[in-house]
Structure 1
């Protein structure tokens, strides 16, 4: 974990590297798991998942994530078996570790020079990167694969690795991305914005405002006093930021809100408000989403608990689409 700097009076930006897991428990007698790691900044809505590694108890990821960490935030890193996560809630769990806020504060207040790596890291001056599914080694210096990283050479390793990772290692991909991006949006139009303003314009708001969501929601075949509507908002209010984002993505196709708020949600043919539609259907069915219309169809469930369970199943354990 490295400290990338802080916003004034705001969260600190940290780069977290998920390297690997070792000796995962084999919970299926006949098959090895397909593990992936999930990184969550608790309560902030920030969630990242690594690639899935096939059939192993010792996965290697070496993937990096930029996180914005508040003073009281904690980080949970959990490992899951991709073969089983869709079967039922909680299925496929292989283990987790949680970094509490006081631990994170200690980590970000120390640097490379304060931590002796002797006996901790077993690295050489050779790193790996994933190129379209193929793992390719890269030597950071001549004969790097035979040169171990020691306490005396760790600063050189960090300098060479960062230089390669952020400059030379992605140069071809970045130039291709830049060329394509500038074909869509000419570069001179972007000069008025800094990186944070551009992120807001492209990605929208990261935090979901429930009051704004409610005030810009259309109701179809139901009213604000209908049980389905009241229970729906009760469920939304009980969700954490991650589940609210999952619900929003389930219904609209995007986990983020436009910069102008929910009133600016777009459908297939232009602006279209989020819509709750009560349908006449069997209450054993799950809610169904129409992402082209930002609409969720909800059967007339008999209780709040049933609506909550069905909604949770729909947003966490289903995938795919159909054309009507």
Structure 2
């Protein structure tokens, strides 16, 4: 997709034009914001450029009647609606007058017409021609921006990214990203219907522009605030870049297109010297970081089902409801003499002495089983340990001799994906990196100190102190950390200023590998048994995407629930009645991404506590008066140190800085 030789180049000198480009983007942004109509799912749409003509199915295609209370004819039109993705069975449907491969069922055509008419009235356009000219101007400008940015030299591209990531307000950057997402969403279903998907290079420049913004969004991840033991999160939530319009596309067709270029990876548009549109680039799955989780799941399942060679026979599982007995029943079933091909079959579950079955029971089973394994013990040792500060579970290295437990849990994680069940987001992302590493995926990243911060903040804090210590007596102050070095470092090597970074990284390697290998190996083997045959999973899915495939989208932050249990310290009655309501109003008004950023700032985690947001235990302490002060936090205690600002707007700016 992007030539490797283009990655190893000297940076060209930057030019002053980047400041002007940033200003131009800011000036033109109001014209691109909310500039396209949206469907009932809030996904932007545009009308097909050609007239859609009403078609009538031939009488000889009517082959069956359906219905109970009222029968109706069903026609075999051999057409699929390009909006809802369902087979067209009505007598009448709509087809492009220029014979493009575009068809709408009656309901989608009528609904699209209603949406366009409503939008036309909203923006005060007189007719379809004027509306079309307006919409395609927005698309044209966005695609031109993409072409220009992608053809900047490397230094200017990086400088623009840094400007957007660190100088632009979060809300403004979020609007810029949303404007790009809107254009690509509106165009994507039209592009897939073109036989030569690469031919529309303007569209792919818009996708490249969105990838540029995605990479820009990740730059803050490489920075860390004072007192934070893990890296800062992205500027806005990754979900803001997801192209929900791809859900209207055909997953099997896209999977088959991707298989022609399986080595393609997400493009590094900040680093490549000469950007070029290639066959590798022109596949939606190549841009897997932008693909909706449900679409990725279906494509992954297409891959897994292909490995089954069409043989799908449900795996029956009967379990008791009592948690401890349920765990042992699952282990007994999964670890009996079943072949891997049998374990890969979708589950059909029932509870003992109950007749009910079906998808609802399967979903209930996964909820009960996953929770039961988290609480389970073997040989008086819990399988997983819970960290209150990060609100995550991790493998317990003391749970030895529990291989069947961990292998069964890995099978459950894989089976959850196979059965379209989302797992609670209870593990740090490092677990998904380790699963990918065991799959020998090139997308598995090397785990570092900040990843320990998401597992055990106290350990990360101690290691950070080593790196920040400048005295020559570092070995006497910190000792040898008391860990079995094995092949990581010589046993007799003492820590020093010269080797402290290698020393800490070696400890991190041991923390994520040797320390938990007895637990991680069977868990990953169970997971690989179900999904390890997927070439898509092994090549283009990174830890962020795998986490979303397994867990779905993150829970929205509930400000009212957090407020209900918050403790207020040092505030007068006047502060409580007149000032603090501003805090809750500001938090309620910001985006979910900004709410998550606030939580990371105050608590070092954006995950929902086990007992819900009301159990977060936020402490809001008064910290002086004055607009020259800034909020700070003690993440260990979920304590926000908040100054009293003179206006609500200054409070908002202070919180979102």
TM-score range, shorter chain: 0.3 to 0.5
Normalised TM-score (structure 1): 0.47
Select the structure of larger CA radius of gyration.
Answer: 2
Normalised TM-score (structure 2): 0.26
